[in-house]
Amino acid sequence: MFKKIKYEADLVKRWFAAVEKNDSNNEGEIDLVLELMYYFDTKSNKKLLNKFEKLPYSKTFFEQERLRDVVLKGSYLKGSLGRELQEFWNQPTYSKDLVEDGLKIIKERKNDFTLTKKEKRFWGGIFDEHDLIHFLFKLDTTTLGEITNVSFTSAKSSRKSFFLIIFFCILGSLHKLFTDTFNLETLKKKVKEVHTIEFSHFSIFRLMWKGYIIGKRYPWLLSINWHELLDEPLDKVKNDLKMEIDNDFKLYYKIEEEVKKIHWWVEYGKRTAFQQQILVGRLVRNNGIPFKILP
């Protein structure tokens, strides 16, 4: 029992250390999320598996090869769901096999961790569903993108790890709210002639709630036989599933743009006075749209 508590305390400590670094695309943070999921979701996944097995599609699902594997070795016409997914999964950001990598990570920490063949296949479906949400709804792998993804998924298939991730995000947001508000408000005032920054730490709470509400309205993506749709035009698939992406995720896209502005000004503050003059001139000529500041 003591060993278990010590391990869980260490896991939480490492999570907050990653958040403190604020490096949302750090590979080590991805590994930490995988470890968190595998460690805390064993019971949650068994319950979800029982729920999933009651669906008509479940028998076909377990007879099929994993969607990601089928797509990566397939051949599809341009514009089809299969081709677009193939290009998506071939990106370096999504090249990790989350099932095998996650198992390797958790077994290094907990060498008695095991999965049945059916459970492993179900994990594959869960991670494919996660990537499908990023793909279909154009969610980035930033902290905001992952929070939106988790909130959306929780509406149909909640897991203990998701509760912890959302809880940690809430704690982090509250911490920032009471420690960084003055700095954020000061920044807004200083740059208002160039930028109107419409962001507060409450925006993250709105984003989580919005993601959950949208997820409630959509079907459980894991219950859809995507294999049958791979040769269909992507636009047709979205229309058939009544995906109003631009409208549904308008808040997410807006907040991501506001955060880009904040990050731009943070980087701006690290430059010399002469460099800052050049950067502001470029920003004004670009109609206030932030661009990446090169090192």
For the chain, 295 residues long, give each residue's pLDDT as a single digit of tens: 556 666 666 766 766 666 556 543 444 466 767 777 777 777 888 888 999 999 999 999 999 999 999 999 999 999 999 999 999 999 988 887 878 777 777 777 666 677 788 988 998 999 999 999 999 999 988 878 888 998 999 999 888 777 777 777 766 665 565 566 557 788 888 888 777 888 887 888 899 999 999 999 999 999 999 999 999 999 999 999 888 877 889 999 999 988 888 888 888 888 888 888 888 888 878 777 776 665 5
Please tell me the distance from the alpha carbon of residue 98 to that of residue 225, in angstroms, as a whole number: 21
Residue 27: per-residue pLDDT? 42
Residue 57: per-residue pLDDT? 95
* pTM of structure: 0.84
Please tell me the distance from the alpha carbon of residue 218 to that of residue 67, in angstroms, as a whole number: 20
Q: How many CB atoms neighbour CB 293 within 10 A?
A: 15
Residue 238: per-residue pLDDT? 92
Name the residue ranges covered by the structural domains of the chain: 2-285
**Cα-based angle 144, 23, 18 (whole degrees, multiple of 5):** 100
Residue 11: per-residue pLDDT? 66
Residues 6+ apart with CB under 8 A from 52: 58, 61, 122, 222, 223
Residue 178: per-residue pLDDT? 56
Helix (H) or strand (E) holding 150: helix 143-154
CB neighbour burial string for 16-39, b if at least 16 within 10 angstroms, e if fewer: eebbeeeebeeeebbbbbbbbbbb
